[in-house]
Amino acid sequence: MRLAGVAAARAAGSLARGAATPYHAVKALAILPPERLRVAPPDIRTADPTVADEIYAGYFSFDGKTVEAQGRSPFAVRPPSAAWRRSLAGFSWLRHLRAADKALTRANARALVADFLAQRLDADDPALEPAVTARRLLSLLAQSPILLDGAEQEFYERFMAALARDARAVFRALTDAKARGAVRLTCAVALTEFSICADNARKFQSLAVRILGVELDRQILSDGGHVSRNPQVLLDLLLDLLPMRQVFAARGAHPPDAALRAIDRMIPMLRMLQHGDGSLALFNGMGATQQDRLATILSHDEAPGAAPINAPYAGYQRLEAGEALLIVDAGPPPPFEHSRHAHAGCLSFEYSLGRERVVVNCGAPASHYEAARELARATAAHSTLVVADRSSCRIAPALDPRRRRAGRMLAGPSAAPVDRRQSKSGQVLELSHNGYAREFGLLHERVLALTHDGVRLIGEDRLVPAPRATHRVAPVDFVVRFHIHPRAALTAVAAGQKVEIALPSGARLLFQAVGFTPTIEESVYFAGAEGARKCFQIALAGRAAPYAKVRWSFRRLTEAALPAAGEVPQEGDLW
């Protein structure tokens, strides 16, 4: 039924786009090369001048691959991967050459851009994809001062023609639906920046601003989350929206209201998803946090305050007490169209003490590790309960020949209700999802309670019969997994009935469960800044029968002796 609805919406959209095609074609032709640029947008991404020296020496390193040009143009070299080609043709790396601030690097930048402009691109070249074209347009606008300063007239004219050509391509991608999901926002921002920077695009500006406003209102939720539920999308989008806001101010124009509203909502959302060490929680496609970029974004927060604790539309919850912090994925998967990088991690959580991470999800690897990225999307790669080693969402294979559905979520939890309350002893979250209802007739319920002093985190996972479940399923097992950060050390204690967790600072925690023996198993942490790292996980296994439950706890230890082997958590009135 979900796929049928998507197909029907797609057919209706195609009909509407077909009727509007002549109008859009004429509008695209109206985008002419500017005679000059009135303003250059700032690039707020961190730049490294040493990268300029590497580029001058002929070394181009993108997306885990390095190519030595050996005196040739990098655009004439056979690319080692499509991701490498996209990064090269996106020209975001020009900021490093600008940071070097040398006449030699400026000339090198101009020569490299000239090499690209002289190329004849095949129709299937990744450089022509909407996301890459939009990124190139944004990069060339931002770096136009070093490219045009002292440039010859021929290069100047080719450069302006290239800006108009890319702007037309971006416009066509927006109007014929080649750009989808978050890519549409990048395209809309690029089109808007071009319209306000170019001296002859004022008539086109109102249309570009309108397209951007529609996409922001459609994709940015009321609590500041993106409809894809991916924190990385917020990070990337703000790195483009904040400079665009400055461009409007530089031209003495009022920035689009939709953009201002989106910025005001998105920055607090990033604060909500941020751990004490500055990194973002690893949910729904988030990998290693580029903390310099995040810090730059947060510095633009005009009214910083306490992080939000409840994002019902984005589907995240935050519990904070003392040094303890809990961030929870409490929402169903995103809509089909925005689910290409979403994870099956409903009800998973991350737990940290101060600046030290304790419980994590495996996170998303870098984009060039496609096979690992698909593995990381499974429920087993998250700190939550897994039934029969099946994910709570059904994900289409990434290499599915029907490219429309490749890698997208075909089924998953349709509801994930949340009840948040205070007890005398702490804060309590009661959550559930029905991702296992259709296959196993079971609902997963999870209760998480954090004491007011932050010393104890107590949880309970339950499997209960789903309403109207009529079929009987063969006996299967469940496993509750807690992936532990690589910097933490695990030791089985109390005759193997408990696990002690030692953090680098010397802080210690004790994990134990009622009626279950925890096991320590290997895991992998994909989101390390230096790449994937081996880590460990704590697993609690049992039979996935109706009304099965397991209660567990993390307790911060003092210098006192460990609890006796038979001691169990005392929850008091937390429940």
Is 525 within a domain?
Answer: yes
User: In angstroms, what CA-CA distances link 253 with 92, 196, 205, 249?
Assistant: 26, 9, 12, 6
> Could you tell me the pLDDT band of residue 220, with boundaries at 50, 70 and 90?
very high
Residue 561, pLDDT score: 44
Residue 177, pLDDT score: 72
Specify the amino acid at residue 68. Answer: E
Q: Express as a percent the part of the chain with pLDDT over 90.
A: 67
Tens-digit pLDDT profile for residues 531-551: 889 999 999 999 988 899 999
420's tokens: 């948040």
Q: Are 551 and 513 in contact (CB under 8 A)?
A: yes
pTM of the predicted protein model: 0.89
Dist CA 122 CA 118 (whole Å): 13
Dist CA 377 CA 514 (whole Å): 29
Specify the amino acid at residue 479. Answer: V
**Nearest C-alpha neighbor of 434 from the set 311, 348, 347:** 347
Residue 1, pLDDT score: 62
Residue 388, pLDDT score: 92
User: In angstroms, what CA-CA distances link 295 with 287, 291, 369, 463?
Assistant: 16, 6, 26, 41
Q: Are 223 and 172 in contact (CB under 8 A)?
A: no
Q: How many CB atoms lie within 10 A of CB 77?
A: 17
- The distance in angstroms from the start CA to the end CA of the chain is 38
Counting Cα atoms < 13 Å in the Cβ hemisphere of 497 gives 12
Is 204 within a domain?
Answer: no
> Could you tell me the pLDDT band of residue 564, with boundaries at 50, 70 and 90?
very low
Q: What is the mean pLDDT of residues 125-134?
A: 94
- Please tell me the chain's helix, strand, coil percentages from 3-state DSSP, rounded to the nearest 5: 35, 25, 40
Q: 């400055």: which residue's tokens?
A: 246
Q: What is the mean pLDDT of residues 511-518?
A: 94
User: Which of residues 159, 182, 205 is at a domain's end?
Assistant: 182
Counting Cα atoms < 13 Å in the Cβ hemisphere of 433 gives 26
Q: What is the mean pLDDT of residues 325-330?
A: 97
Answer whether residue 276 shows pLDDT above 50. Answer: yes
> Could you tell me the pLDDT band of residue 130, with boundaries at 50, 70 and 90?
very high
Dist CA 561 CA 315 (whole Å): 40
- DSSP annotation string for 253-294: -PPPHHHHHHHHHHHHHHHHTB-TTSPBP--TT--S--HHHH
Tens-digit pLDDT profile for residues 332-377: 999 988 988 899 999 999 999 999 999 999 999 987 777 788 899 9
Dist CA 526 CA 572 (whole Å): 38
Answer whether residue 12 shows pLDDT above 70. Answer: no
Q: What is the mean pLDDT of residues 477-493?
A: 96
* 201 or 324, greater pLDDT: 324
**Nearest C-alpha neighbor of 569 from the set 421, 455, 477:** 455
Residue 70, pLDDT score: 84
- In 342-389, beta strands by DSSP E: 349-353, 356-360, 385-387
> Could you tell me the pLDDT band of residue 3, with boundaries at 50, 70 and 90?
low
Residue 371, pLDDT score: 79
Domain of residue 32, residue span: 19-182
Residue 112, pLDDT score: 94
**Nearest C-alpha neighbor of 132 from the set 176, 164, 179, 96:** 179
> Could you tell me the pLDDT band of residue 469, with boundaries at 50, 70 and 90?
low
Q: Are 323 and 353 in contact (CB under 8 A)?
A: yes
Residue 23, pLDDT score: 57
* 441 or 473, greater pLDDT: 441
**Nearest C-alpha neighbor of 488 from the set 519, 450, 525:** 525
User: In angstroms, what CA-CA distances link 449 with 281, 322, 421, 429, 551?
Assistant: 19, 14, 10, 6, 11
User: Which of residues 182, 198, 227 is at a domain's end?
Assistant: 182
Q: 């209960």: which residue's tokens?
A: 464
Is 255 within a domain?
Answer: no
Among left, alpha and beta (phi > 0; psi -120 to 50; other), residue 229 is: left
Q: What is the mean pLDDT of residues 375-380?
A: 93
Lowest mean pLDDT among 211-225, 293-307, 469-483: 469-483
Q: What is the mean pLDDT of residues 140-144?
A: 95
Q: What is the mean pLDDT of residues 144-151?
A: 90
Dist CA 267 CA 273 (whole Å): 10
Q: How many domains is the chain partitioned into structurally?
A: 2
Is 5 within a domain?
Answer: no
Answer whether residue 4 shows pLDDT above 70. Answer: no
Q: What is the mean pLDDT of residues 18-41?
A: 72
Residue 568, pLDDT score: 44
Is 267 within a domain?
Answer: no
Lowest mean pLDDT among 147-151, 177-181, 309-313, 471-475: 471-475
Is 289 within a domain?
Answer: no
Answer whether residue 25 shows pLDDT above 80. Answer: no
Specify the amino acid at residue 96. Answer: H
Counting Cα atoms < 13 Å in the Cβ hemisphere of 460 gives 19
Q: Are 455 and 461 in contact (CB under 8 A)?
A: no
Specify the amino acid at residue 408. Answer: R
Dist CA 372 CA 166 (whole Å): 33
Answer whether residue 19 shows pLDDT above 70. Answer: no
Dist CA 316 CA 304 (whole Å): 20
Pairing of strands 533-543, 477-484: antiparallel
Measured at the CA of 85, the angle between CA 236 and CA 237, to 5 degrees, comes to 10
Dist CA 77 CA 46 (whole Å): 27
Residue 566, pLDDT score: 43
Alpha helices in 2-77 (DSSP H): 2-29, 49-56
Q: What is the mean pLDDT of residues 4-19?
A: 54
Answer whether residue 270 shows pLDDT above 80. Answer: yes
- DSSP annotation string for 540-564: EEEE--TT-EEEEEEEE--SSPPPP
User: Which of residues 182, 212, 240 is at a domain's end?
Assistant: 182
Mean pLDDT, all residues of the chain = 88
- Which CATH number characterizes residue 363's domain? 2.70.98.70
Q: 């633009």: which residue's tokens?
A: 300
> Could you tell me the pLDDT band of residue 396, with boundaries at 50, 70 and 90?
confident
Is 115 within a domain?
Answer: yes
* 72 or 21, greater pLDDT: 72
Q: How many CB atoms lie within 10 A of CB 292?
A: 11
Q: Are 219 and 324 in contact (CB under 8 A)?
A: no
Is 396 within a domain?
Answer: yes
Tens-digit pLDDT profile for residues 165-218: 999 999 999 887 778 889 999 999 999 999 999 988 777 888 999 999 999 999
